[in-house]
């Protein structure tokens, strides 16, 4: 029976499983696996059949074609682009000239008619995709090297597409890849997947991964989406929408009956064109422009994003269980514009981070940029840095002009570019998102890449040398000139464990997925104002009062409208952006505590936000002015604080990230603390409800002197020492005045005495006590002293964690030996 099955020329999805890769390739085998085992779990897979690899070999054998192909490839130098192009073209033409055996034609036609009948159509439209037998393996990515044909209907068109697919086993990029990986050209076969088309040309489609593609963070589903057929997203010819969904709290909906909606990040892409069926034209598909109003909208609803993310979890769990180890997955999805249903149309193992040694932490550090400037910005791919001379290649026909070792700059890449991409120092493209071809190949090759720059080919036209920096988060930067950089490697298996909780200070949410790999016990300080400054830019009251208040000024209104065009209620923009920023940080470190400090802008900093001057007084000394707790209950800012509370509520109650702890800054008096808690409760944040803890910054001498009252059970759950402000207020220093810096710092005896006093009170009362100022990052001896005095946690800058951890470990060992 099994031997007979190996000789079959056509097999249906219902007959296939992942173990059938040798028969039908990775794509068809995976679709069969999901069709058989996951349809019952609600995952929708369009039906189809596979024309087997046996059919491919049968075609070559029936036409005695193997030896002529070997002769054409004999002596090939795959690094010679021109030689590769000429020989590849001859092989493909040879295969396309072969005659299909009659029995093979008969079986293909019968299967196609059966599929058409299943969908009640005379000649149903299909997607015809190549599926190589070495494709979609965990340690090799052949995806995209062979051809795909969409909107294929009718027997003549199907047979022609099949012949082109068979020939595409010898595309230039496929030949080059097999040569590089050491695969024999004839031990690999090609199957063809014939699948019912999803009419995403009338809706949208995209790609999703069951991890973050840049950092490898495993608790996220990353989804991209654009209008029309999916080829534009895969090829990188559009900048798609992007969504992140947090898996652990999404899964709790099924396991614990919760109703969390953890879409922790959304980004609107330009999506300026859509691929549709070409009715009556010479081609099967064509691109048309997308109206501006649709470009500025997200093309998926929240419910659809959550359903796709749920499917991603189901697929990953199934393949992981089957493999006996975690198996992150790379999937393609499509929405049918006729039925409004979602479908999965492909799934394969993720091939970059799954092959990375997770015990080695590699950190790229850019050198001094003071004498340079940023020329181009886009989406970063990975976290590497590279530099070299610019080489602009506008068309794939010109790739022979590419100079190895230079920085490739182009509109976009597709699989035809593969032979030269491996030789680039870095890659920059005008188009594409983080799941486009250039991004996928760059990750696999370990090459720094910035995609979606918009006009990089124009801006870099007269530039000689650049440095491509992907180390600073989601935004990739292209710097003028060659900037030195270093690579720091840490073996995480050799890191000692310590009792003192070493936490981190994080502002930028874009770095959170990478920072969470550093040994830590959570976040001791997440600065809300960083998110406001980087993602919102608008004073909260200008949004609350819109279209009145500050928005009466036409310039202010225009700036608000440009940033909030998707929102009729402008306050929702503030809440959503702030919640997403906090949510990414909280998700990265979940379930460890993430201490989020409510806004601590000074009045001059608030005034710098769009519309800010309308609401902020001019103060001679903003450092000691209307800041922190004193704003929250004040009638002139309370409405803005209500938005901050709404964002925290969304993170905890909607995203399910109950690990978020609220921290109140610059609370001068006990009475002020009580007013803040009353105001928080007014806006739905009550201490103790759903486990909510509320800490206060200990950064004013009054906090130390009245610590017993501040840490009473009806006020704050703990203190985090703000060493910067407490130092300046103890010594009477302006921390921004460089001429006074020599007078003292956190090591000053008076400052340390206050530290010790509040640590003792907190420990006596059984309350949390940590420190989140700059001091322990700058002075290792201060960290040692704090451990000795009984501090619970030390929050550090990410680049100080590992060195401080070693200092703390040594101190704890010393204390243990003396006790």
Neighbours of 497 (CB within 10 A): 8
- Matching residue, tokens 């200092």: 807
Neighbours of 605 (CB within 10 A): 17
Six token digits for residue 542? 């200008």
Residue-wise DSSP of 269-328:
----EEEEE-TTSSSSEEEEEPPHHHHTS-SS-HHHHHHHHHHHHHHHHHHHHHHTS---
Six token digits for residue 454? 């918009």
Active site members: 437, 772
Which residues have CB under 8 Å from 127's CB, separation 6+?
Answer: 148, 149, 150, 152, 193, 194, 195, 196, 197, 345
Nearest residue to 700 via CA among 600, 596, 801? 600
Nearest residue to 302 via CA among 243, 367, 390, 246? 243
Six token digits for residue 355? 């092959």
- Is 77 in contact with 214 (CB distance < 8 Å)? no
Distances (CA, A) of 527 to 655, 687, 728: 19, 20, 20
- Is 301 in contact with 266 (CB distance < 8 Å)? no
Six token digits for residue 644? 């901050």
Nearest residue to 772 via CA among 503, 532, 580? 503
- Phi/psi for 13 (5° steps) reads -55, -40
CA torsion, ordered 800, 802, 803, 804, to nearest 10 deg: 70
Nearest residue to 132 via CA among 178, 190, 171, 187? 190
- Is 172 in contact with 179 (CB distance < 8 Å)? no
Strand partners, 348: 330
Q: Is 405 helix (H, G, I), strand (E, B) or coil?
A: coil
Summarize the chain as % helix, strand, coil (round to 5).
45, 20, 35
- Is 408 in contact with 424 (CB distance < 8 Å)? yes
Which residues have CB under 8 Å from 129's CB, separation 6+?
Answer: 27, 148, 149, 165, 192, 193, 195, 346
In the β-sheet with 126-132, what is the strand arrangement from edge to edge? 10-12, 48-51, 190-196, 126-132, 148-152
- Matching residue, tokens 């060195």: 803
- Phi/psi for 764 (5° steps) reads -65, -35
Burial class (CB in 10 A: 0-12, 13-18, 19+), 195: buried
């Amino acid at each position: 029976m099994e031997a007979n099955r190996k000789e079959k020329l056509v097999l249906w999805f219902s007959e296939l499983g992942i173990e059938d890769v040798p028969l039908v390739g990775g794509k068809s085998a995976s679709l069969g696996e999901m069709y058989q085992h996951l349809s019952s779990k609600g995952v929708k897979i369009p039906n189809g059949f596979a024309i087997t690899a046996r059919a491919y070999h049968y075609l070559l054998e029936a036409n005695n074609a193997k030896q002529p192909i070997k002769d054409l490839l004999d002596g090939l130098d795959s690094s010679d682009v021109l030689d590769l192009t000429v020989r590849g073209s001859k092989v493909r033409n040879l295969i396309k000239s072969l005659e299909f055996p009659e029995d093979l034609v008969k079986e293909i036609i019968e299967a196609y008619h059966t599929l058409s009948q299943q969908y009640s159509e005379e000649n149903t439209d299909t997607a015809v995709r190549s599926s190589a037998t070495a494709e979609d393996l965990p340690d090799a990515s052949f995806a995209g090297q062979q051809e795909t044909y969409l909107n294929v209907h009718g027997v003549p068109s199907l047979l022609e597409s099949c012949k082109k697919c068979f020939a595409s086993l010898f595309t230039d990029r496929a030949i080059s890849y097999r040569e590089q990986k050491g695969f024999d050209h004839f031990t690999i076969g090609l199957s063809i997947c014939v699948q019912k088309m999803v009419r995403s040309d009338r809706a949208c489609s995209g790609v999703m991964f069951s991890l973050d593609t840049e950092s490898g963070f495993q608790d996220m589903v990353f989804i991209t989406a654009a209008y029309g057929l999916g080829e534009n997203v895969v090829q990188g010819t559009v900048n798609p929408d992007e969504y992140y969904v947090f898996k652990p709290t999404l899964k709790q909906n099924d396991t614990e009956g919760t109703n969390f909606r953890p879409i922790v990040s959304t980004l609107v892409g330009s999506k300026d064109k859509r691929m549709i069926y070409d009715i009556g034209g010479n081609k099967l598909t064509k691109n048309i422009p997308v109206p501006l109003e649709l470009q500025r909208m997200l093309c998926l609803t929240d419910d659809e994003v959550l359903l796709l993310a749920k499917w991603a979890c189901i697929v990953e769990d199934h393949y992981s269980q089957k493999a006996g180890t975690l198996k992150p997955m790379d999937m393609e999805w499509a929405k049918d514009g006729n039925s409004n249903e979602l479908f999965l149309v492909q799934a394969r193992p993720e091939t970059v981070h799954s092959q990375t040694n997770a015990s080695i932490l590699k950190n790229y550090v850019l050198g001094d940029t003071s004498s340079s400037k940023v020329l181009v910005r886009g989406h970063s791919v990975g976290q590497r840095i590279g530099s070299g001379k610019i080489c602009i290649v506008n068309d794939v026909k010109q790739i022979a002009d590419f100079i190895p070792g230079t920085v490739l700059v182009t509109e976009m890449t597709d699989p035809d570019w593969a032979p030269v991409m491996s030789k680039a120092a870095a890659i920059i493209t005008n188009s594409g998102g983080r799941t486009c071809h250039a991004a996928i190949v760059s990750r696999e090759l370990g090459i720094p890449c910035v995609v979606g720059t918009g006009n990089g080919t124009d801006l870099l036209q007269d530039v000689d040398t650049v440095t491509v920096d992907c180390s600073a988060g989601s935004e990739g930067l292209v710097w003028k000139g060659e900037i030195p950089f270093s690579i720091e490697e840490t073996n995480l298996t050799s890191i000692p464990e310590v009792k003192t909780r070493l936490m981190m200070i994080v502002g930028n949410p874009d770095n959170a997925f990478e920072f969470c790999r550093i040994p830590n016990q959570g976040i001791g300080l997440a600065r809300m104002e960083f998110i406001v400054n980087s993602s919102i830019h608008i004073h909260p009251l200008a949004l609350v009062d819109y279209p009145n208040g500050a928005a009466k000024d036409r310039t202010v209104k225009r700036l608000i409208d440009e940033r909030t065009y998707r929102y009729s209620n402008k306050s929702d923009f503030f809440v959503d952006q702030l919640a997403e920023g906090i949510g990414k940080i909280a998700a990265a470190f979940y379930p460890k505590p993430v201490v989020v400090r409510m806004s601590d802008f000074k009045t001059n900093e608030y005034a710098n936000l769009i519309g800010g001057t309308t609401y902020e007084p001019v103060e001679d000394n903003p450092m000691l002015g209307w800041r922190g707790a004193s704003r929250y209950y004040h009638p002139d800012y309370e409405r803005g604080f209500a938005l901050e509370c709404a964002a925290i509520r969304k993170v905890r109650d909607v995203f399910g990230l109950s690990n978020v702890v609220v921290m109140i800054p610059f609370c001068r008096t006990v009475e002020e603390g009580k007013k803040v808690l009353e105001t928080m409760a007014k806006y739905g944040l009550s201490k103790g409800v759903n486990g909510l803890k509320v800490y206060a910054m200990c950064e004013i001498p009054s906090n130390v002197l009245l610590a017993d009252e501040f840490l009473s059970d009806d006020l704050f759950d703990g203190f985090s020492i703000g060493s910067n402000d407490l130092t300046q207020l103890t010594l009477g220093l302006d921390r921004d005045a460089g001429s006074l810096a020599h007078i003292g710092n956190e090591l000053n005896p008076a400052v340390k005495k206050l530290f010790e006093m509040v640590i003792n009170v907190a420990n006596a009362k059984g309350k949390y006590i940590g420190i989140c100022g700059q001091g322990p990052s700058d002075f290792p001896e201060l960290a040692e002293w704090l451990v000795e005095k009984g501090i619970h946690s030390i929050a550090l800058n990410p680049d100080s964690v590992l060195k401080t951890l070693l200092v703390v470990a040594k101190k704890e060992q010393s204390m243990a030996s003396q006790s």
